[in-house]
């Protein structure tokens, strides 16, 4: 495609994902991951010529939320800096574009959030249009429930099939030192867990979390030989209609479009056989099944059967979320960047106990907006 | 060196008003986008990607990028939001530039907007500052700017009347701009007699609150000349956001971030004498005194020399370097759009579409953005392609 | 001062953002809400290019971006596309917990409207049910002038 083959990801850093981090400010978390990413890349802050921070004014409780971390990420040194408000996969894309434009050589992309310090219900209610939808009391969870039921109705997906995602990802998280929840659950546990909003049960839902992450993206020729170098093969992103009634919530059309663009750039025609591992945005259990379909791992409506057949288990043909995914720890905004980091670690063979064997090509996925309205897909590899 | 040469080929904006009750935010955005597409004789199908920006707390909408799809035409397109406070508009403009220059997209729609009528501007801005250290003693944007103005005036013996001359200039220029919110001239006396807000800033020294939107299309070299007969080519951008706490700022030096950003950019594009080599400037001057101290930071004259430039008419229409032919921020301030409007107005000057506010023969234009904790963004556009 | 203390007490500062909002509904939305208030009728707009009928009404088409000027009335009843019974406490949904939220495709419309479902025990709600708008006695020109949609 247009130059992504010159782009490598050479450094990554993430905090442990925790229910709360009372000892740390946003700046502390950002500094931690920037330091880790620089060390991982064998660089100092002096090697970074531009920075993309990623934060959300509602979650942070401050407008110009970037101001909370500018110092900690190195902006004070007079570096060119910008801020994306949305999932980290999108800001990493922009960080890559800033290199491809010829303006910079090394982009530092940083994300942070502290879900613990404020009120998820009010904050996600704020996603909804104040005239027509907000007064109904919509939030991320009850709208996900609307989507889950629509998905199940249209395609005959069962609650058990969705529950299997939770079982799989919680089991995988046991081997991820960064995961917030390291507790296995059985399908029975999921089915008997507290009903939040039918048909969503507690164990179908990701938790509230604090976390930060950073990646260093390079356009330098020398970076390609870096021991940690992971090549970018393709990226695509796409947004669907906004009002919930303006689209069929059962179909991830925007993901289909986003992944098509990424696959085209990466020269992938058969994702099931050409992708070795995928890290997907499983904010809710049913979403992972929907994303299998949007990504073309199976036909529309085929997500349930895919998990029934064990295809996406650690020992399956295409392991999904070896890290434990968001169901095991969901720092918003940061979630997608962690998917990208995990995909890179898989390619590098650095995923430790949750390493999938023989990974050459990995897929990472991030989501922005309610009910999976907007998606970003990365294909990375060696 | 840019991978793909990139130019602005179309712009659109709303008629800015203190309050637009006839449209909700999405519809306001749609208005600017429609006008922009019309300006370029384009349809929404021509657009490959969308970037949008505003300051969240002014309208209380979370995830504006996904909310605004009906306004931006972003349905089934790549959409992203960028935001950095007052500099949001230039951040949006720079994003549009990088998305095209990267070769990833050929035509990108960039939108900045704000509906300041929907909230208490000061209450929202106050939330920008650190809740533990700064927020409780800070009172919105004006107090910080007043402290800066005071420091500059004391250091250089500049008077409130000198500052008022900036407001008089921008308000006069606005009478040529059908889109500007405030389109009546004011006198030095009007400014001096207006109510004091925060010493030395008076009501007529400072920008209004505005509902408005601006949309710009960035196009790659392959398309730019097909769409526009005189594209405004991007030659360089520089962004310096070095401070986060009010206590870190060097109050007695004229906007150091602007000095750093402009010096870096001038070096990059080869400008040695900005006053001579730049034909027009659209500057983010939220209040009058900034029009003195910050043009010193831009290297137009020595420290303390700005009042003379103003009184000599150097920065008026017809002068050697007209500043803010659009009327600038003192005439219109829809915050999320404002810095993008500066880039759009600079592009309009190069494209020759300025009508009554057109400066003759513009080849090089500079646009600035300001916001956050005394942050600065600078952009240079030219009528000729970069190398 | 010495390096980091082991048992440093960690303070927390409780506060909130106080930014009141006055959102412009706009001409199109105002007409829709006033029709709810004055006439208990639901009006939509139709795209001249792709014929889609939007509820709530839009000024420009989501799908093809055309300007929309035509108003069409839609029925105040339709089919329930999906729903959920919200069992956690949330101060934001009107009515007593558990509340029911759903998406209704009104007869004549091409887009669903999100609203409350009421006047029915929650274990009796089914996708595909026909539901009808129940209007409040005292209406203000607000989406909640419709109290909820009730199965018919």
Asked whether the beta carbons of C57 and C28 are under 8 A apart, the reply is yes
Instruction: Name residues 41-60 of chain B within 8 A of C (Cβ).
Output: 43-44, 57, 59-60
Probe site for chain B from A97, A129, A217 (most B CB atoms < 10 A): A97
CB distance B85–A129 less than 8 Å?
A: no
Chain C neighbors of A242, CB-CB under 8 A: 62
Task: Work out the mean pLDDT of chain B and round it to a whole number.
Answer: 93
Token pair of B285, please?
């001057």
CB distance C62–B69 less than 8 Å?
A: yes
Structural domain span for residue A59: 4-119+208-225
Asked whether the beta carbons of A59 and A309 are under 8 A apart, the reply is no
Distance CA A96, CA A337 (A): 13
Q: Is C133 helix (H, G, I), strand (E, B) or coil?
A: strand
CB distance C24–B71 less than 8 Å?
A: no
CATH of the domain at A58: 3.40.47.10
pLDDT at B241: 82
> Nearest CA of chain B to the CA of C65: how many Å?
6
Asked whether the beta carbons of A254 and A373 are under 8 A apart, the reply is yes
Structural domain boundaries in chain C: 26-151
Q: How many CB atoms lie within 10 A of CB A258?
A: 30
pLDDT at A224: 93
Asked whether the beta carbons of A14 and A338 are under 8 A apart, the reply is yes
**Percent of chain A surpassing pLDDT 90:** 93
Any A CB within 8 A of B260 CB: yes
Distance CA A150, CA A133 (A): 18
Distance CA B186, CA B190 (A): 6
Residue A1: band (very low, low, confident or very high) from pLDDT cuts 50, 70, 90: very low
- Which position has the token pair 């802050």? A45
Is ipTM strictly over 0.90?
Answer: yes
State the pTM of this model: 0.96
Among the listed ranges A369-378, B2-11, C67-76, which one has the minimum average pLDDT value? B2-11
Q: What is the pLDDT of residues A171-211, one digit of tens each?
A: 999 999 999 999 999 999 999 999 999 999 999 999 999 99
Q: Determine the average pLDDT of the residues in C16-28.
A: 87
**What are the angstrom distances between the C-alpha of A131 and each of A95, A373, B56?**
35, 19, 17
- Comparing CA positions, the residue from A216, A57, A157 lying closest to residue B82 is A57
Q: What is the pLDDT of residues B87-120, one digit of tens each?
A: 999 999 999 999 999 999 999 999 999 999 998 8
Does the pLDDT at position B15 exceed 50? yes
Neighbours of chain C (3+ CB pairs under 8 A): A, B
- Which position has the token pair 């001249």? C48
Residues of C within an 8 Å Cβ radius of A: 8, 10, 12, 16-17, 21, 23, 25, 29, 33, 54-56, 62-63, 81-88, 90-94, 99, 101-103, 105, 111-116, 127, 142-144
Pairing of strands A361-368, A277-279: parallel
CB distance A195–C63 less than 8 Å?
A: no
**Percent of chain B surpassing pLDDT 70:** 96
Distance CA A281, CA B301 (A): 54
pLDDT at B1: 46
Q: What is the pLDDT of residues B337-370, one digit of tens each?
A: 999 999 999 999 999 999 999 999 999 999 999 9
Q: Determine the average pLDDT of the residues in B11-15.
A: 98
Residue B143: band (very low, low, confident or very high) from pLDDT cuts 50, 70, 90: confident
Residues of C within an 8 Å Cβ radius of B: 13, 15, 17-29, 58-60, 62-65, 67
CB distance B66–A369 less than 8 Å?
A: yes
Token pair of C138, please?
């005292």
Question: Strands, DSSP E only, in chain B?
Answer: 6-13, 49-53, 79-81, 107-115, 196-198, 201-202, 211-220, 232-240, 280-282, 364-371, 375-382
Q: What is the pLDDT of residues B61-97, one digit of tens each?
A: 999 999 999 999 999 999 999 999 889 999 999 999 9
Question: Which of C18, C23, C64 is facing B24, going by the closest CB pair?
Answer: C23
Rg (CA), chain C: 21
Q: Is the dihedral of CA B346, B58, B183, B286 positive or negative?
A: negative
**Angle (deg, nearest 10), helices B160-174 and B290-297:** 90
- Which position has the token pair 């009750």? B21
Distance CA A31, CA A59 (A): 19
Domain B6-120+210-227 superfamily per CATH: Thiolase/Chalcone synthase (3.40.47.10)
How many A×B Cβ pairs under 8 Å?
A: 197
Q: Which residues contact A203 (CB under 8 A, 6 or more apart)?
A: A163, A166, A170, A185, A189, A190, A193, A285
Give the number of domains in chain A: 1
**Angle (deg, nearest 10), helices A88-100 and A335-348:** 70
**Percent of chain C surpassing pLDDT 70:** 96
Probe site for chain C from B22, B69, B132 (most C CB atoms < 10 A): B22
- Domain B131-207+235-331+339-382 in CATH 3.60.70.12? The answer is no
Q: Which helix (H) or strand (E) holds B296?
A: helix B290-297
Domain with CATH 3.40.47.10 in chain B: 6-120+210-227, 131-207+235-331+339-382
**Angle (deg, nearest 10), helices A253-266 and A285-294:** 50
- Comparing CA positions, the residue from A14, A58, A7, A50 lying closest to residue A33 is A14
Pairing of strands C146-151, B107-115: unpaired
Token pair of A79, please?
């570096």
Question: Which of C33, C86, C111 is facing A243, going by the closest CB pair?
Answer: C111
pLDDT at B86: 87
Distance CA B206, CA B331 (A): 9
Distance CA B261, CA A140 (A): 41
Cα A263 versus chain centre, distance: 18
CB distance A86–B244 less than 8 Å?
A: no
Q: What is the pLDDT of residues A319-335, one digit of tens each?
A: 999 999 999 999 999 99
């Amino acid at each position: 495609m247009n130059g992504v083959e010159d782009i490598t990801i050479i450094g990554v850093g993430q905090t442990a994902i925790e229910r709360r981090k009372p000892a740390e400010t946003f700046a502390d978390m950002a500094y931690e991951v920037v330091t880790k990413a620089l060390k991982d890349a064998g660089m100092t802050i002096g090697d970074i010529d531009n920075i993309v921070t990623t934060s959300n004014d509602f979650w942070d409780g401050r407008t110009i939320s970037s101001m909370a971390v500018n110092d900690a990420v190195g902006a004070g040194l007079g570096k060119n800096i910008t801020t994306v408000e949305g999932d980290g996969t999108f800001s990493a894309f922009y960080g890559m574009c800033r290199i491809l434009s010829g303006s910079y050589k090394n982009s530092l992309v940083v994300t942070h959030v502290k879900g613990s310090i404020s009120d998820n219900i009010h904050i996600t209610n704020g996603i909804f249009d104040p005239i027509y939808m907000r007064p109904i009391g919509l939030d991320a969870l009850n709208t996900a429930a609307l989507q889950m039921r629509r998905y199940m109705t249209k395609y005959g997906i069962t609650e058990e099939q969705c529950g299997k995602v939770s079982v799989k990802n919680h089991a995988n998280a046991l081997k991820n030192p960064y995961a917030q929840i390291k507790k296995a659950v059985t399908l029975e546990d999921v089915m008997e867990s507290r009903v939040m909003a039918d048909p969503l049960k507690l164990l179908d839902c990701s938790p509230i979390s604090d976390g930060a992450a950073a990646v260093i993206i390079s356009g330098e020729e020398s970076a390609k030989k870096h021991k940690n170098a992971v090549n970018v093969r393709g990226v695509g992103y796409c947004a669907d209609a906004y009002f919930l009634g303006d689209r069929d919530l059962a179909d991830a059309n925007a993901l289909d479009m986003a992944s098509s663009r990424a696959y085209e750039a990466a020269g992938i025609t058969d994702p099931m056989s050409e992708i070795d591992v995928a890290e997907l945005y499983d904010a809710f259990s049913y979403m992972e099944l929907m994303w299998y379909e949007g990504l073309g791992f199976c036909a529309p409506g085929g997500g349930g059967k895919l998990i029934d057949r064990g295809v996406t288990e650690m020992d399956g043909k295409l392991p999904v979320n070896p890290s434990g995914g968001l169901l095991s720890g969901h720092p918003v905004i940061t979630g997608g960047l962690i998917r990208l980091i995990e995909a890179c670690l898989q390619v590098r063979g650095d995923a430790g106990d949750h390493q999938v064997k023989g990974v050459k090509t990995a897929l990472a996925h991030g989501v922005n907006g309610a009910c999976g309205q907007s998606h970003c897909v990365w294909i990375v590899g060696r | 060196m840019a991978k793909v040469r990139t130019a602005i080929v179309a712009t659109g904006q709303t008629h800015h008003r203190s309050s637009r009750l006839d449209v909700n935010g999405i519809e306001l955005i749609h208005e600017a986008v429609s006008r922009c597409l019309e300006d370029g004789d384009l349809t929404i199908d021509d657009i490959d990607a969308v970037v949008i920006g505003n300051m969240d707390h002014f309208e209380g909408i979370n995830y504006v990028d996904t909310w605004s799809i009906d306004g931006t035409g972003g349905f089934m397109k790549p959409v992203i939001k960028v935001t950095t406070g007052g500099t949001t508009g230039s951040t949006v403009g720079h994003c549009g530039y990088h998305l095209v220059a990267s070769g990833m997209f050929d035509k990108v729609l960039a939108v900045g907007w704000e509906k300041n009528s929907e909230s208490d501007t000061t209450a929202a801005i106050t939330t920008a500052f650190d809740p533990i250290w700064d927020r409780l003693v800070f009172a919105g944007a004006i107090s910080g700017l007043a402290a800066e103005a005071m420091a500059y005036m004391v250091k250089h013996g500049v008077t409130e009347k000198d500052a008022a001359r900036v407001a008089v200039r921008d308000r006069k220029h606005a009478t040529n701009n059908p889109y500007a919110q405030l389109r009546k001239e004011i006198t030095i006396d009007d400014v001096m007699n207006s109510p004091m807000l925060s010493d030395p800033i008076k009501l007529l020294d400072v920008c209004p609150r505005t509902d408005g939107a601006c949309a710009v299309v960035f196009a790659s070299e392959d398309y730019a000349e097909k769409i526009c007969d005189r594209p405004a080519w991007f030659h360089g951008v520089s962004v310096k956001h070095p401070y986060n706490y009010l206590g870190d700022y060097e109050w007695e030096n004229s906007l150091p971030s602007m000095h750093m950003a402009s010096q870096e950019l001038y070096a990059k594009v080869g400008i040695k004498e900005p006053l001579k080599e730049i034909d027009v400037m659209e500057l983010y001057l939220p209040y009058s005194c900034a029009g003195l101290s910050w043009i010193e930071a831009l290297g137009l004259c020595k420290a303390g020399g700005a009042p003379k430039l103003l009184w000599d008419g150097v920065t008026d229409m017809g002068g050697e370097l007209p500043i803010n032919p659009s009327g600038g921020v003192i005439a219109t301030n829809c915050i999320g759009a404002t810095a993008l409007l500066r880039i759009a107005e600079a592009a309009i000057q190069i494209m020759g579409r300025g009508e009554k506010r057109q400066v003759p023969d513009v080849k090089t234009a500079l646009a600035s953005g300001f916001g956050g904790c005394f942050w600065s963004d600078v952009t240079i556009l030219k009528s000729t392609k970069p190398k | 001062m010495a390096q980091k203390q082991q048992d440093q007490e960690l303070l927390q500062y409780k506060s909130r953002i106080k930014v009141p909002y006055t959102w412009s509904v706009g001409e199109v939305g105002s007409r829709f809400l006033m029709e709810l208030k004055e006439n208990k009728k639901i009006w939509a707009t139709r795209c001249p290019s792709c014929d889609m009928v939007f509820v709530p009404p839009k000024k420009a088409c989501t799908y093809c971006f055309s300007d929309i000027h035509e108003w069409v009335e839609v029925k105040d009843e339709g089919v329930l596309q999906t729903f959920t019974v919200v069992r956690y406490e949330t101060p934001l949904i009107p009515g007593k917990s558990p509340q029911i939220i759903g998406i209704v495709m009104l007869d004549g419309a091409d887009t669903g409207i999100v609203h409350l479902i009421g006047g029915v025990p929650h274990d009796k709600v089914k996708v595909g049910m026909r539901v009808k708008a129940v209007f409040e006695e005292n209406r203000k020109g607000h989406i909640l002038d419709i109290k909820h949609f009730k199965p018919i």
